[in-house]
Structure formats: structure tokens, C-alpha cells
Structure 1
Amino acid sequence: MSAELRRRGERVAPASAGQERLWLIEETSGGSATYNVPVFLAWRERIDVAALESALAFVVERHEALRTAYELRDGQLLQIVRDPQTPPIEIIDAESMAGVREEAARRGSEPLDLAKGTVLRCVVWRGSPDGDALLLVVHHIAVDGWSLGPLLDDLAVAYDAALGGKRPSADELPVQYADFAVWDRALARTPDIQRALHKRVGQLLDVSGELVLDGCTRSPAADEGRRPGRQRHFPVPPEVSARVGQLSLSLRATPFVLWFAAVQATLYRWSGLREFLVGAVTANRNHPMLERVVGFFANTVPLRCAVDPGWSFAELCRKARTEAFGSLSHQKLPFDQLTTAVNAARGTGRSALVNVGFVHQAPPTGHARWAPPSELATGTAKFDLMVIINEVGDDLTVTIEYDTDRYSDDACDRLGNTLVELLTAAVGDPDRPLKEFLGEPAAVQRATSGPAPRKRESAPLTKEQRRAAELFAAVLSDGGRYGVVGTADELTADADFFVLGGHSLLAVSMLAEAERRYGVELSPRVFLTDPTVAGLAEALAAAEARRDTPAAVIDDGPRPATSAQQRFWLLDRMPWLRPAYLSPTVVELADGIDREALRRAVDTVLARHPALRSRFTLDRKERRVHYRTDGPPAVTTVTESPADPREHLAEICATPFDLAKEAPVRADIVCLDDRTLLALVPHHIVVDGWSAQVLLDQIATVYRQDGDLAEPVHPAAVAEPVDAHRVEAVVERLRGAPLDPPLPHDRPRGELQSTRAATVSALIGEERLRRLRQVAVGELGCSTFVIAATLMGAALARGGSGRDFLLAFPWSGRDSTGAADAVGMFVNTLVLRVDLTGEPTWRELLTRVRDDAKAAYRDATAPYDAVVETLHPTRDLGRPPLTPLYVTSAKEPDLPAPFTRHLAPDPLFIKYELELTAIERGDDLELELAYATALFDERTARALLDAMVAAAADLSDHPDSQP
């Protein structure tokens, strides 16, 4: 079945092949303006900013590409369509248009942020005697040259309508860019395109794309995103422009063919090569529904050039016509895919297929309210050299954009002048031999392909190189997505990722795998400098050395509390919430325990950790909580045979602390006739769940006297700093989801949130879990946490609580070196979206939740308070902020001797209204649902839990059905 272009309405879609290339250049260059498109409009009148805001809002709403962010998930680049928002307009007072143009050029060279979806920026200059001016800076990933026409047309229509107080009338676009990307990728997988790709590779193999012109001074740029560039303009005389159309008709050639022939001849003159490749930038809009869509459709098409100085210009045009017409079919072949295939066939690794570009375009015309737009230079270059033919009515201009590290102004001038002179002569006499036009060619072709990768002898791989080879094989082997190589055993240290058939985005996927396996983060830019097995091994070793650098020594303060600690301190001011923010652990010990030795062990461990000696005070001047870690440690108490052990434990586990004066932890050894209990109760402001396990492990070690403890770590030395810049991404991901879904409450909420709770639990069943994991884990790569969240969302939806849920969940925050043995509060609260709208299948829902979880992890450093403040600033005190739902997963606790079992705290307090914990118990999975007893009866909680188990059965048996 052939692919169909249609409106899909998806908010998340794969990026197109062209977008992948631009995104990767951005990633490897660390953000540059190479692919900025700054459009300058000199207004004929004063700009009405309110009308402009309305017009921009319309344009952004109409064209999804202008409000799309880009995110890498599981090695695939996705475009995320955001809700329409009016781009902010910066307004600047201007003194002269000359100064405005200079400042506009500077602002047009400031990078845009693709991850945040900031692909459009707008600046207005007002007050210049020459008139107002507007700068639109759009990222090339969202527009191409063709797009500027419909974009500015829509802006003009919307602006005129806004001035009249109306909304513009415009037909809905039949498709959006994301629809094209899905269609285009489906086309690329069809047998016809694959055959065309294979055929085109064969046609290009024997032609060099390394075109070096007279005046070249350096080897090609190693970084496509960091080419310093300049443009020089060469107007074509009006009498020549007027005759170009006539010559085209007489030669039965399009203007594109005419210019293509002229460019070939000029490049021959200054390279001395008779055969070479040039990259023609084509529109690639092969469907009528795409005509008015804004987006990046353009593709680079490598064209074979052949020049014989004995031919006439007319003959060159006839020969060029066949190749040029072939470009109409070649433009369907993704440039990066073609480059990879040709390089793999040549065995040349990662090298440019073409380094000289050619564009023939008709820029947008002016409007009643503004002069013809001008596209400003960004100070960068996309190729070593690119010839741009701008055709506006009868006016023709040749623009040469060139890499200033490779070519001088003089070399550019020679090229531009030769092209104009050649065309001038050709329109006068197209039958003259080329050699009479051009003179002797400059025989300057030289080997300037840059430093070759270091050759290493074919010796056995080192341990580090073996790891790198396994990463190569993971994505290139028969067991991966591409059957290019066999196993890691077949690779040598010199094996080049790109020679083996890898491509740039696949390299990014491989680096993500390296991070998962070895806990190190490598930028694509580092790997691409030496994309071999040995190069990757060296990069991994360097990254691990950086990761393993010891943490800095931290003094006792005072120091500002973390964002989470600020929140917990404030919650501790609310009496009805205080018990919920204690973290009690009650464990039973084996018979014959030495209670005095246990007391000494507990005291030793409590005194070691700076976090457990913290004291918290409010600095009223700064309006911020600070803490010190030099307070006296807590001392363990021993209680002999309490009259009511249950009541005694309840008091120990629920009594709040004075955080300014007391150590934020207490420990009590409860001595009963037949057993011994240890109640360890820290405040959540200084510990998380991981810390509780560290404390038990260390108490057991000291008690048994069978090991050394790790050096105590100050939590400030290993805490991951929050990043307020991530808040926007989190808010955008969650925007539109209900903050208060209609839960099946048996009683209404009170004025103050109740935290008393009880639990119900159920097992999934081993066989059902095995089938469920085949789909969720084996096929889709979902974690137990993702499965639990999906089941919770499905059960709530089946019960009539809506179709879109936000679930809070904890993030460990222990990514820093040394954090594994630290005691402290490192957890940040993240929010997961479980969206069942649009009738997804179980597979589709799991994929949605998995991808949203990964997005949440990516933005894990965003402070939860800031997210809450943005999305839920006016919450009441009767419920938790943002969401009443919480989910987490855990493994069955592993208690070290002499501890024998955990005892559930009684009474139980929770922070949310429903808290689901998925606990892996051997080959089964237990779902434990804690519920606020002030709101739910046990039968209601049990019914909800049963619905989760039933959902698990449906998912395991019918994964392609709808939840």
C-alpha cells in the first residue's frame, strides 16, 4: 500500500529526515545561528503592535511548525507540537534605519532553542525617521525559502484584519508539517524509494564531491554548525536580466537549468575539474496539499556536473537539463541517508557528499505595508561555498555565501564576477565555445580533506575498546536495528562508525546507550571528532574520569536549604500536615539481640551523617530557610516493656520535631518480652527512601563489626542543583491536563487536607505478569513504574474519573559521584502525565506514558515548587498541590542481619489522596494502594485496586485493544 498524505492531528510525530540533519548540527555545535532565517521588513508606516500581536498569534496558530519543540527519545528525534501562544514582541526605540539594520543583523545571529520550541522570535523598532521595522527570526527547522511566502502572506492578511477589529478568514490547511513528516518517512521505506536510493548511489560513487576552488586556504570545517561565513552580492545588469528569459525559451530550458549550466562552467573555470558534484537545494514539495504549508521541506540534491570546454553554452545547457530534471525525482531521497550510503560504499567514513551548494529562488515580494523583505546574513555558512540566485521580477542578483576559514573575499569576487560575465556573454551568443568565455581553467584541485583519523595497528582490543566495540555492535549489528556488522568481535580499533553504515542520528542513539550502560554522558560533538572504536573508548575513559572526581569538602554552613527542603519546612508550619512528612522505619530484630550493642551502633551512625545534625531556621530578611549541620546528634532511647507498645510506637512515629532546635531524627529501641523493635524516625527534610536503607545497612554493619563504613558525605557536596530553566518545558508538557480529576470520593474534602491513611493490596499473578512484561518490557521497553502508572490511569478512567491524569512521583536525584552512600533529602517531585484521550490501544498508551516519563526524567532538575506555582497558584488547603495522585515502584526490601522484617507504621500518614506503590516480589508484582481514610472507604479503594488488576489482565491478553 502506498503512503497517504492526510491530516492526522498528532501532537507528537517523528521529525523529518531534513529536520534530523539540522537538529544534529545544532546539537554538535552547541547552538549556533547557521540555520537561523532572519527576515527584515522595513515598514512603510507605523506598526500597530497590538495588531501585530494578533497577526502573529494567528500565524502561529495556523502553522504548527512555528510552535513545535524537538526532543530525542530512544534515539528517535520527535517533533512536539505545542499549544498556540503569541510569541513575545520586543519593542526598541530607533534613531536611524542604518542603526536598525546593524542591530537586526546582530539579533538575527542569536541562537534559538529547539528543545523549548523557541523557533520564532520577533523584534520591532519604532521611531526611526525612515519608518518602523520588523525582524522575524525563524529557525530553518521550521521554514524554508518557499515557506516565507505563505508565512508573510498570512501575516499581512491577519494584520489587516486585526486593524479592522476582525479575525482573518482563511481556509484550514489540509495538512500540517508533522503530517508531511510521517508521510515522507513512510515513502522513504517504500521499495521504489529504496531502489531509487540504491541506483543513485551507483551514479554518484565515481564523482568527487570535494570541490576545491582557486583561493582555498584551509581544509574543510570539522563542525558544520561552526562555519564562520560571509555573503557578497553581484547584481546582474538589467539588460542581461531581461534576456535570460528569452534565452531559456530559445534553449527550451528552465531558468534553473540555465543557471545550473552557468554555475557548472564557472566552477570548472576555478577548479580545473571536468566532473564534480554540486548540492542543489530543491523545494521538495511534491504534493499539492503542501503548497501553503510552512515548514522545512527543502532537500539537498547532489547533482553530477560535467563540463567540456569545447562545448558551447547551449550544448552545456542541453546536457545539464537531463541531470536537472532528474533532480525532481532525486529530491525524494533524504540527503543524510544518501550521504551515508555513498560513504559506506566508498569506505570513506563520515565525509561531506558535496561542499558547494546551489540555490535558485524567488524571494517573497513586498506588501502595501512593507517593502520587499530582505534575509539578513547570520555570519555563518552552510557549505564551503554556496551560489544563490535571487530572482525578483526582472531583477537578478547572484549572492555567494562562503566559509571565511576556507575562502578569501578575493576568491569569492573572482567566482561571482566570472558567473555574471559568463551569463552576459551567453545571452549574447550561446553557441560560442565555453573556452572562449572562460579562458584557461585554474588547475587548483588539491587534497585538502583534512586530518585523517589516526591509524592504529590491528592489535587485540583493550578492555576499554571492547566496551566501545560492543556499543558499535549494539546499533549496527544483526541484533540491532541495522544489520551492517556482525558482532563486536569483528571490529578493530580503527573501525569507523560511518564507514560501517552508521549515520549521525544513530550515533546519538549509541551515545544514549553508553549513558544507560556506563553512567557517563558524551556529547555528539566529542564522538564525531574521532568516530572510531578507539576514539569512543578514549572519550568514555575521559568522561568516567570526570565523573569519578571526588566531591568537594563542604563545611557545616549556614547554607540555603534546597528547594524541596524549603517546601518541607513550610509544610511543617501546617499542624495538620506535620505527621505526613515524617519518614518512620520500624523493624523487628532477631532473637538474642545485644540491645546495648544495638544502641551504640545506632548512635554511631546517627552521629556520622551531617544531614542528621541539621538545624533549620528562617532568615526573615532574605525570606529563605537556612540550615547548619554542626548541631549535637540525636541520642537513641531505650524503652523497656511499654504498657501499650502500639500506642508507644504511634507516638514515636507521629510526634513532630522542632526543626530549629532538635536533631531531625529520633531512634527508640523498644524492648518487649519476646522481641526487640527499632523505630527510626527522621524528618523527610533530611532523608529520602534511599537514605533509610543506607542507615539500616550501616547500623547493621557497625553492630556486626564486620566492615568499614564509607566516609560520611555532606548532602550539599553531592546534591544536584535545581534548574529553573527546565520549568517551562515541564509546564508545557503538563499544560491542559486536569489538576483535580473527579475521583470516586465517598466523602467531600474538608477545609484542611487530611493525611490519615490505610492500605489495600493485591498481586498481579505470575503468569499474567509474565505475559504483561512480554509486551510492556520486552517489546516497548517500559519499566515497572510505567506499567503501574498506566494501570492506575486506566482504572481511574474506567471508573469515570476522566481520561487525562497527572501523577506525582519521586526522582532520586542521586546522579553525582559519592551520592550512593550519602544520607540526605535528594528527591525531587516530578509529575507524569497519563493521557488516555484519543482512544489509544494498550501499546499506544504504554508508549505515551513511557515517553512522558522520559521527558520528566530529562527535566528532573526543575524545582517542583516553581512548577506548582505556574500551573496551580491558587490551590486551597484541602488537597495536595497540582495532583491528588501519586505513584512509585520499589523492589522487595532486603533487610541486613540482625533485622528480620519491616513493620508497617500505625497509624499511616500519606501526602496525597491516593498513593500507588508497585512492589516487585520475586516473579510477581504487588500493587499496594494507600488511600486517605477521610475521603475513601475501604470498599472504594478495593474496587479501584481490583480495576487495576483487571486492567493488567486486559493489557496482557489483548495489548492491541483499547483500555
Structure 2
Amino acid sequence: MRAEEFATGDRSSGRIGRAVPLSTAQERMWFADAAAPGNATYNVPLFFRSREPVDAAVLAVALETVVARHAVLRTCYRLVDGQPVQVVADAVRPMVEEIDLGGLPDAAEQALAQARERGREPFDLSGGPVLRCTLWRGVPGGDAVLLVVHHIAVDGWSLAPLFEELAAAYLAARSGQAPRLPELPIQYGEFAVRERAESVGVELREQISQRAKQLAEVAGGLTLAGCRPNPAAPDGSRPGDQQVFTVPDEVVSAAAQLARSLRATPYIVFSAAVQALLHRWSGRGEFLLGSMTANRQQAELERLIGFFVNTVPVHCVVTSEQSFRELCVGSRTETFHALRHQRIPFDLLTAAVGEVRGGGRSALVEIGFVLQNMIAPTADDRLRWQPPLVLGTGTAKFDLLLIMEDGPDGLTLTVEHDTDRYPAEAVRELGEGFVSLLTAAVADPELPIGALPGGPDSFRIPQAPADRPAPVRPRAAAGPLDAQQLQAAELFTAALDAGAGSAAGQPSRLAAEANFFSLGGHSLLAVTMLAEAQRRHGIVVPPREFLADPTVAGLGRLLARGWSVTAAEDRPDAIPDGGPHPANAVQQRFWTIDRIPSLRSAYLIPTVVEYTGPVDPEALQRAVDTVLARHPALRSRFALDRRLRRVAYRTDGAPASASVIDASAWSAGELREHLAEVCWRGFDLAADAPARAELLTAGDRTLLVLVIHHIVSDGWSRQLLLAEVAEVYRAGTEGRDPVLTDPVHPATVTEVREDGPVAALAEAVTARLRGVPTDIELPRDRPRGELQGTEAVCRTVALGEELARRVRRVATEELGCSAFVTAAALLATTLGRRSGQRDFLFAFPWAGREDARSVEAVGMFVNTLVLRVDLSDGPTWRELLTRVREESVFAYRHAEVPFDMVVAALHPDRDLSRPPLTPVYLSSQEGPDSPPPLGPGITAGARALDPLHLKYELEFVVTESGEDLELALSYAVDLFDAATVTALLDDLVVDAGDLAADPDSHPMRRRPLWTTPK
């Protein structure tokens, strides 16, 4: 797309209505958010005080003016054909949240504390908005305001125009006038289109190749004294903190004088001091330092809000013998050389260096340095707004980031540090060392670097690696690729070029053992790549199989095996409404269970979303009705085909529709009773749509109650539906068409099958599990009845961030085990020590969405798998985790075996008093369920179900909640007391501590916790 094709409306108002690609800088932000949704690393909280009252309505108008002027502030980011794009709304009305702190003795402290908390709240980049505002009243000395913007829309240079234009718009709105702001010569989307066009040019690719060869010669892995060997989390998120150090005014003046004598800028002097400091703290004579550049090389970008910042690696060479003046001269030369390459996107350069080095994609720089020389934000003198403060978010972008900035208190050095890597005491000594080193260096520039103060006194310098990396491994070390491996290499290259910055290079140069994730891939790219494999070759490659061996050779083997029984060209692109369509194995089982009244409620999926704010009930009702009517699965009717002796369904039934109920006069008890009835009332699967919805309104609260039968939906489907409801609602209120993918008919989705019959796979599963007890001695407070009860309650406990980090360090980083594997080992150990049982079977879910089409399909695709955990020979924690990991891989490889086949073989004498095969269900999830918001000023949260119904006697869920791990046990109330389950959770936490403390200890040799009640 050409840049001039981007704009479809008036640039000054930002009326742009076309999806365009992300800039390379934005793409880096988008991938970071996709890897760690909800992480606050790239939030930009801007907090300022006003010495006069702020009018919330006028502030909202001013915000709307700025958002209308800068399209990037009303942009959201979505996947289209597997690629992220910018989607710009024609208009967005920002809401101002008002909080009254009047009368509180600590109002000022409360406002700042609440601002810090709100500054860390996540953004939904797919739905927006990317900007939010809070106003605190009743603060002594004037009101306080917080603007929080996602970094994908702003950088440091943007803060001045953002703050100043907001002030100008506020003044104008207060006087009833339009603000006088100069027309913007360009919108950010136009810049992104132009930059993308340039990024595929031959000249830039040659620059990347040449620069990568130069930088690949420098050894990576820069660590300083005091560094702890804790890598960043798998999703790249880092807990962070900041410390600030003041540089004396006389030192600043001397640095400026030295810079003038060298015909350089103060940046060169400060950068040389940083390099000398890092040399002293690392023992390295050669390393790479990341320098932040504004990357606004065109005058038209000067006052444009957007994210332009790039990281430029600077090659640093420091010796103890050279003088500080000589280091400044060398630093000036290398800095100018590096800045000639400042338009090379950092991600592309990182990938290219990894390709040259041959060791996969890894961090190119661990430590960054920036001198903030942008214009400080100021407000009109007629407004009594104080200069804004950028609040910390408790995260870090690098191992260490050194930020020098001239502010009201003079020149300061802020050291942002990854608290897992660098303890506060090391950072304190480092910052103080910088000030003392700079002071001595500018006082006597002829001093040798080795004679300067500022080295680590309390911490040991790390063993310095060789300053040159090992010889580059040949890319074709394993010999030429065969036909299937070449196909796999082409898929690797296409995916990595699109999403990870050309990390793979030419397909023929990839070695057979090249690992997709080492080359810079991630799970989202893997799914995209496997979908492309299906489109190109008509072969379904199950993610579970690829993840077991994510190499060129591994994917080649899967391509050669030909997993799809139906060629892509033979599959219908669409299926008209009607039928009948045969139910899958899981639907057959659910239809049978629905015939048993006592179990019916457990196979419903109720969701209650509570919206707070100015919801339009009629618009939300239309959105819900639109979504319920879109999906064939939600129009299904099920019946037994007696001739074929199997269940079939049709999709030409009438869809469900939502009703709106005024609940403002209801008591809490009446609301609870109503929700219980709506959420757990069964469906007539033959006559009714398998879904229903209600909207309950009460003041500024609106409850969306969405209930779907499990026979047509799973957890993945629920998230799709809630996202669509939010998108249709937002589109309706914004006067635009919703951005939705075409609905997928469940019958078009290919069922993945092995070459051999499923019966043979089932035999392998039953052979592996035969002889394991098909029940578990749980600490029940009451005996089972004749019929299984399903009413339940949930109890939760958090490990705490410190223990969670230690558990991850042992289980994930040392042993390569997921949270799910860790949870299974902990649960079996805790139950085993209570009862004496040593061999367990746990049920757990498998998403079952192997076909590329299933990713956007609403339907029931989940299969139940069975995991064995064997403690019989008293393994160590290390041995147990390894054993459970191997069992989970076996289960994944046989995931298409229907659960009923396994039950029939292992537990044929089952009855209705208990679940088949095992009474315990286990799962893990990344982050709690969070419904998407409906728009500015409207918050959304999932309301806990009361009562709860479940399929098993105990259901154990581990949730990775930020840095913490949350353990949840749902339990059948007719079998367990709350105190019993609370004690069970407490014991799980104790066992987690034992695992973290000593993975080579034998957990089953400890004293039993208690015996099962008789």
C-alpha cells in the first residue's frame, strides 16, 4: 500500500478508515504484549497536579480533541491473515474517571498511590482504547490527573505535544472555542506504511547484513558485578525498580566544557563515562551498549504523537590503560558510525546477528543508555498545571537501563533494573560509582580508566568471556536438507521473516537441527506457520506434535507423515445451514450425559460479566443477538438418528436472543437466586437453541449473563464470543462496521487422525495406564451417595511472588517443566502423603483445535486426556517432574483418542455415584479470565458463579497471575467441608516450598500429613 492511499479523510481530524501494517517499532511492542498480556512494562503513566480545580467535562472534551487530531490514539491492533495490523476508529470519546478524596487526611498520598496502581493496569490492544484518564478531586493544593498511554502509541518525544496540546484544547474548550493548533502534515499510519515500504528495500537489507557481520564479532552476554543468574521470564517480562542519583552542577558544567574541547556533545562524555563504568563492573574490554534514539529524522514528525524510538547497538572498546579523553574520542567515532545505522529496526538487526553467529536469536544488548534531550512538556501560563511526572510501572525493559535527564533538580541518573538480575544494593553502588567516576574523569580527563574511582567494592566482577565469540557454526552442518526438510525450512523462513525479523535467512542455509524458538519464533508465530503449512500442502500439523520437536527436521517428519486424511482442496469452504451433521465423539458423550438430570447442570458453561459505566443496554442487546445469530454451532439442534445409532445435529434452527431486565430494585438475595436459575437451567437440545442470554441493569452496573451448553462450546469459544460482543458493541456505538472474521461451521473443521486407526492408539493408551487405580483416596468428610452431586465451591490461595519465582526457577528453568506438569506433581504428592496412595490418574483438557480453521470456530473441540503420576518408588522432586513431563508428552501424542474409549477399557464397571476413571480434574491457565471492555469509561470483570457446578469431585486449576501462581480447588459440597479443602491448599503451598528449596529431596519420605477419614 502506498502512503498516499492510507488517508481516506481529513488529516487534521484524523479520520482514517483503513487497516495498515504496524511500524517496526510498534510490532516490537505488539509482540511483547502478545507474549505477556496484561504486563505493565510498556505502560506510560503521566501524572500531573493542577493548582486549580479541573473541570472533568472540559477535560473529556480536550482529550477528545487530541485523540481526534492524532489517529494513533484511536487505533487498535488486530490479527488479519495471521499478521498484526492497525485499525483506526473514525472517532473515540475518551472518558474521565473521577475520584473524590475530599476529607481524607492523606489525600495527596492516596492520589499518587492510586495513580501508580492504575498506571500498571493492562491495556487491551485488540479492542482499545490505548489511552485512559483519571481525575482526583479533594487533593490539597489542587486536583491531580493521570493519563496512561500504551507505549505502542507514544514515546518520550510524544509527551510534550500530548501534554501541551491537551492544555491548549482544555483552555479552548473552557472558553467555548476551538483550539488553534497547526495542521499535522502526516499521520502515524502514513509513516508506518512508508517505513514498511522502505524496510523491504535492497539498500536497507544490505545495511542490515553488513552491520550484523560487524556486531556478530562482539561477544554477547554483558553481566556486571552483583548480577544474579536469573533469566527473564519465558514471556520476556521482568520485575523492575528504579533508583535515582543526582549529578552535581559543577560536574555537569565540567562535562560540557570537556565536550566543547573535543568538538562533541555532552552525550559523548556521558556515554564514555557509562562505558568506563561498565568496563570496571564487568571486566570486559569489548561489549555492546544499547543507545536509545528518537528516530524522528524528518521535520514532519517533530510534533507527531507516536512510537518512533529505536535501539542502536554501540560497539564499545575500553582498556584500563587509555585515558578518559582517549575513550571520549573513540566513543565519538563509534557513536557517529552507529548512528548512521539508526534507521535499521532493532529487531531485524538482532535477528540478523543471531543468524550470523549461528547460535539462534538471543538478546543483542542487555544494558541500555539514554540521554533524555527532548523538549520538556509545559502548559500554557494561563493554566496552573504543573509539569507532568512519568511514574514507574514496577517493570524493566533491560537488565539495566541508565537514563540521564535534566530536570527541575538538575541532571539525574535513573537506573532502571531487573530486580531478578540486579539487587538494589548492587544498583545503589553502581549509581554512586557512576557519579564518582564522572566527577573524577571530567576533573582530569588524562587519568587512565583504570585509575578512575567507581569500581565495585562490595561485589565480585564476573568472569569475563573472551571478547570475540566462538567461530560461527556452519548453517548446513547436518548436510543438505531433504525435500520435506526444505519445505519445513521454507515455512520457518516465511514465518520468521514476517514476525521475527528475518532470523532464518535462506531456507537452504538452515541446518536440520535449527530450532524454531531459538531462531526467534514464539507460540503465536508457530500457530501461524502451521496454519500456512495446511494452506500450502493440505497437511494438518498438530501443534502438540510440533512442540515436541520444534526443529526443521521435526517439522519435516510431520510433513512427510501426511497427518490430514482429507486433502485441502476436497474440503468444503462453507457448509450451508441444515444437515444433518454427525456429532463428534465428545458431543455424543455430552448428549448422553444430558439425559441424566442430576448431571445436566455440570455440562453448562455460564458466564456473568459485570460492566460498570455508561453501557447502552439496547446497543449491547443488539450486539449479543448479532453474535448469537452468527455462529452455526449456536443454532444447533441435536437428535438421535436411530437408524445410524448416533447423534446428529442441524444448524438451521432459530438463534437465541437476549432479553433486557431492570434489576435496580432487586435485593442481593433476589439477584443471586435469579442468576442461579438462569445459569444452571438445562436446555432441550432437540428443540431449543443451546444458548441463552440476559442483560440485567441496575444504575451504572450491567450484567451480561451468557449460558451455552458444553455440547456446542468450550472455553476457547467463550473467549471468542465475548470478544465479538465487545467488538460489535463498540462498532455500533462508534458508527462503524465491526471487524469480524467469517463464522466457521464446525463441520468444515478437519478431524486430525493418525495414519493408523484410532483403536490402535487407544490400545497404546490403555496399555500404558492399565493397572493404575481408577479411583483416588481423597480426604472426603462424607461418603459418596448413590448419585454424583455437582454443586461446588471454589477456594484459592496464592504462592506469593517470591515462592512462585523460586518454583519456576527449579521447575521451568532447571527442569523444563510447565506449570501444568508442576501442578500435577504437587497435587499427587500432597494427596499421596495424606492417604498413602502412590499411583494416580488425573483427567485434564486438550484444546483439540488442530485444524487452522478451528482457531476462529465456535464449537466443542476439547477432548479429555488422562495423566498418570507414579510415586511408587519414592522419586525425588527432580525425578518426579521429569516423569510427569514424559507422561504428559505421551498423553498429548495420543490426544485424539476419545475419552470414552479409554474409560470403556479401564473402568467398565463405572456407576453414577462418581466420575469415570478418576475423581480429580487438573488444568492450568495463563492469567485469569478477563472479559474485554466495551469502550472508554466502561470496566468489565468476570463475576464469580454462586453456586458453582462441576463435573468432578475435585478440580485443581493453577493460574499464572503475573509473577505469582494461584492455586484454586473447586470441590463437591456434598463430600468435603471448607476446612478440609483449605488445609489441602495449605499443604500444597508447603510442598511447593519443599520443591523450591531442594529439588533433589524425596517428598514421599516425609511424615504423612494425615490419614483419610474413615
Q: Aligned with 1:174: secondary structure?
A: coil
Equivalent positions of 1:524-603 (< 5 A) are 532-533=551-552, 554-556=593-595
Which runs of structure 2 are paired with 1:253-272 in the superposition (5 Å)? Answer: 253-272=264-283
C-alpha separation in 2, matches of 1:555 and 1:419:
71
2:462 to 433, 436, 444: 444
Change (3 A) 1:377 1:514: farther
Tell me the equivalent position of 2:428: 413
Cα distance in 2, alignment partners of residues 193 and 358 from structure 1: 25
2:406 to 391, 394, 415: 391
1:170–1:531 distance in 2 versus 1, CA, 3 Å:
farther
* Among 705, 716, 726, the residue aligned to 2:724: 726
1:300 aligns with 2:311: yes
Residue in structure 2 matching 1:165, options 170, 176, 198:
176
Equivalent residue letter for 1:406: R
Distance 1:197 1:608, change over 3 A: closer
What's the counterpart of residue 812 of structure 1?
745
State the partner residue of 2:66: 59
Aligned to 1:44: 51
**1:56: Cα distance to partner?**
0.6
State which of 81, 91, 98 in structure 2 corresponds to 1:84: 91
> Secondary structure in 2 aligned to 1:47?
coil
Match runs of 1:310-329 below 5 Å: 310-329=321-340
Is the partner of 2:121 in helix, strand or coil? coil
**CA spacing shift, 1:486–1:132, aligned 2, 3 Å:** closer
Could you tell me which residue of structure 1 aligns to residue 493 of structure 2? 476
CA distance in 1, matches of 2:314, 2:183: 37
Report whether the alignment pairs 1:717 with 2:733. no
CA distance in 2, matches of 1:294, 1:146: 8
Deviation at 1:439, TM superposition (A): 7.2
Letter in 2 for 1:24: F
Residues 135-157 of structure 1: CA deviation (Å, up to 9, x unaligned): 11111111111011111111111
- 8 A Cα contact 1:362 1:392, kept in partner: no
Percent identical residues: 41
Q: For 1:811 and 1:5, how far apart are their aligned partners in 2?
A: 32
Query: Contact 2:744–2:857 (CA<8 Å) still a contact in 1?
Result: no
Change (3 A) 1:602 1:474: closer
1:744-785 CA deviation, whole Å, 9 max, x = no partner? xxxxxxxxxxxxxxxxxxxxxxxxxxxxxxxxxxxxxxxxxx
Q: Tell me the distance in 2 between the aligned counterparts of 1:383 and 1:805.
A: 38
Deviation at 1:806, TM superposition (A): 11
Deviation at 1:276, TM superposition (A): 0.4
Q: Is the 8 A contact 2:133 2:147 kept in 1?
A: yes
Which amino acid in the other structure matches residue 126 of structure 2?
A
1:729 CA drift (Å) = 2.1
State whether residues 4 and 183 of structure 1, in contact with CA within 8 Å, keep that contact through their aligned partners in structure 2.
no
Matched letter for residue 491 of structure 2: A
Q: Specify the SS of the correspondent of 1:225.
A: coil
Matched, 1:137 2:127: no
- What secondary structure, in the 3-state scheme, does the structure 2 residue paired with 1:70 have? strand
Supply the distance in 1 between the matched residues of 2:351 and 2:366 (Cα, whole angstroms).
15
Say which SS state the counterpart of residue 185 (structure 2) adopts: coil
One-letter code of the match for 2:50? W
TM-score of the pair, normalised by structure 1: 0.58
Report if aligned partners of 1:341, 1:501 keep a CA contact under 8 Å in 2. no
Deviation sequence 1:104-156 (CA, Å, 0-9, x none): 11211121111113311211111112421111111111111101111111111
How big is the shift at 1:62? 0.9
SS of equivalent residue, structure 1 residue 330: coil
The SS at the match of 1:138 is strand
**Counterpart-to-counterpart distance in 1, 2:647 and 2:360:** 55
Report the Cα distance in structure 1 between the residues aligned to 2:557 and 2:144, rounded to whole angstroms.
Answer: 51
- Offset at residue 336 of structure 1 (A): 0.7
Give the CA deviation at 1:416.
0.8
1:807-886 equivalences under 5 Å are: 811-813=744-746, 858=856
State the partner residue of 1:641: none
Is 2:8 aligned against 1:14? no
Given the alignment, which residue of 56, 81, 89 partners 1:74?
Answer: 81
- CA shift, 1:728, in A, is 2.4
Matches within 5 A, 1:228-267: 228-267=239-278
**Compared CA separation, residues 508 and 205, structure 1 to 2 (3 A):** farther
Structure 2 segments unaligned to the other structure (5+ residues): 9-15, 468-476, 565-583, 607-619, 626-633, 662-673, 692-707, 754-851, 860-930, 936-1014
Q: In structure 1, what is the equivalent of residue 212 of structure 2? A: 201
Residue 352 of structure 2 is aligned to residue 341 of structure 1: yes
C-alpha distance 429-497 of structure 1, shift in aligned 2 (>3 A): same
Identify the residue that residue 186 of structure 2 maps to in structure 1. Answer: 175
Q: Distance in 2 between matches of 1:385 and 1:356?
A: 5
For the pair 1:122 / 2:133, whether they are aligned, the reply is: yes
Deviation per CA, 1:235-272: give whole Å up to 9, x if none: 11233234433332232211221211111011111001
Q: In the aligned structure 1, how far is the partner of 2:82 from the partner of 2:54?
A: 45
Distance 1:628 1:548, change over 3 A: closer
1:47-101 deviation digits (Å, cap 9, x = unpaired) = 1111110111011111111111112223432111112212222211233212222
- Which one has the largest radius of gyration? 1
Letter in 2 for 1:727: V
Counterpart mapping for 1:759-798 below 5 A: none
Matches within 5 A, 1:220-235: 220-223=231-234, 225-235=236-246
The correspondence of residues 636-651 of structure 1 with structure 2, limited to 5 A, is: none
AA aligned opposite 1:473: E
Show the 5 A alignment for 1:500-515.
Answer: 509-513=528-532
Hey, what's the Cα distance between the residues in 1 that align with 2:45 and 2:194? Answer: 29
In structure 2, distance between residues paired with 1:477 and 1:22? 21
* Cα 1:240/1:535, change in 2 over 3 Å: farther
The equivalent of 1:103 in structure 2 is: 114
Moved more, 718-727 or 476-485: 476-485
Partner of 2:391: 376
* Alignment equivalent of 2:32, drawn from 4, 14, 25: 25
Partner of 1:496: 515
Separation in structure 2 between the aligned mates of residue 6 and residue 718 of structure 1, nearest angstrom: 41
Q: Partners of 1:296 and 1:170 in 2: how far apart?
A: 21
User: Which of the numbers 288, 293, 299 marks the counterpart of 1:282?
Assistant: 293
Rounded to whole Å, the distance in 1 between the matches of 2:75 and 2:853 is 15
- What letter is aligned with 2:41? T
After superposition, the C-alpha distances for 1:448-498 in whole angstroms (9 at most, x for unaligned) are 99xxxxxxxx99999xx998985443242799988945579x853x32236
* Cα distance change of structure 1 residues 292 and 213 upon mapping to structure 2, 3 Å threshold: same
Contact 1:311 1:434 in 2 (8 A): yes
1:955 counterpart residue number: none
- When residues 92 and 858 of structure 1 are mapped into structure 2, their CA distance, relative to the original with a 3 A threshold, is farther
For the aligned residues, what is the CA RMSD? 5.3
> Could you tell me how far apart the structure 2 residues matched to 1:352 and 1:521 are?
30
Find the counterpart in structure 1 of residue 783 from structure 2.
none
Which blocks of at least 5 consecutive residues in structure 1 are unaligned?
450-457, 572-580, 585-599, 632-662, 665-682, 687-713, 739-803, 821-853, 871-963
In the alignment, the residues of structure 2 paired with residue 246 and residue 346 of structure 1 have an alpha-carbon distance, to the nearest angstrom, of 41
SS of aligned partner of 1:27? helix
Separation in 2, partners of 1:477, 1:811? 26
**Alpha-carbon distance, 1:324 to partner:** 1.6
What's the offset of the Cα at 1:533? 4.5
